[in-house]
């Protein structure tokens, strides 16, 4: 999914949610799809199709500069794997700064298994390195990365597909 489809699907399924998100993913919080200018044009049809346009505004921006503030939860789908640790920490730090109070960070990413068992994320890991300088990470690697941005890994939740939901909470300053 992308171009606001995750926000649209979550908003349609859960009436109490409103959403916003960067690039080809979504932050669930606020009432926005937060994307670079070249991406937000595709958000309207997805929101209209899900019947949630009235609950999700569209805002242009870059998560490298800032993230719309005030959210209780932020969902980043297929974002962190695009970037090396330093760039990922910039993004996560901006999300951390944006929280209104205690909140939850959810990352939908590949969570590679420890060791070297076969996993679809192994090939994607190489592709990310070659194309973006990013990487797929294990739960242990998220556990090491997240505290540097003010979060603590709560759990990595497997899904029916190859991705996992990396569930993190704010750490008190």
Nearest CA among 19, 171, 38 for reference residue 93: 171
Q: Checking DSSP bridges between strand 73-77 and strand 104-112, what pairing results, if any? A: parallel
The answer to whether the beta carbons of residues 77 and 34 sit under 8 Å apart is no
Please confirm, yes or no, whether 16 is among the known catalytic residues: no
Beta strands per DSSP E along 1-144: 32-35, 57-60, 73-77, 104-112, 137-138
Q: Are 85 and 60 in contact (CB under 8 A)?
A: no
Q: Please pick, among 14, 81, 119, 131, the residue that the annotation labels catalytic.
A: 81
Q: What residues are labeled active site?
A: 81
């Amino acid at each position: 999914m992308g171009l606001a489809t995750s926000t649209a699907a979550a908003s349609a399924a859960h009436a109490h949610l409103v959403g916003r998100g960067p690039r080809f993913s979504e932050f669930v919080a606020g009432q926005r799809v937060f994307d670079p200018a070249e991406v937000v044009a595709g958000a309207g049809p997805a929101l209209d199709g899900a019947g949630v346009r009235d609950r999700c505004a569209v805002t242009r921006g870059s998560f490298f500069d800032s993230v719309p503030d005030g959210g209780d939860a932020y969902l980043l789908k297929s974002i962190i794997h695009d970037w090396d640790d330093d760039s990922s920490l910039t993004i996560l730090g901006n999300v951390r700064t944006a929280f209104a109070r205690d909140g939850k960070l959810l990352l939908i990413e590949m969570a590679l298994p420890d060791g070297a068992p076969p996993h679809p994320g192994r090939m994607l890991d190489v592709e990310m390195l070659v194309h973006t300088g990013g990487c797929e990470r294990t739960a242990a690697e998220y556990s090491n990365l997240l505290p540097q941005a003010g979060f603590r890994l709560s759990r990595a939740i497997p899904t029916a597909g190859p991705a996992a939901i990396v569930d993190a909470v704010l750490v008190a300053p």
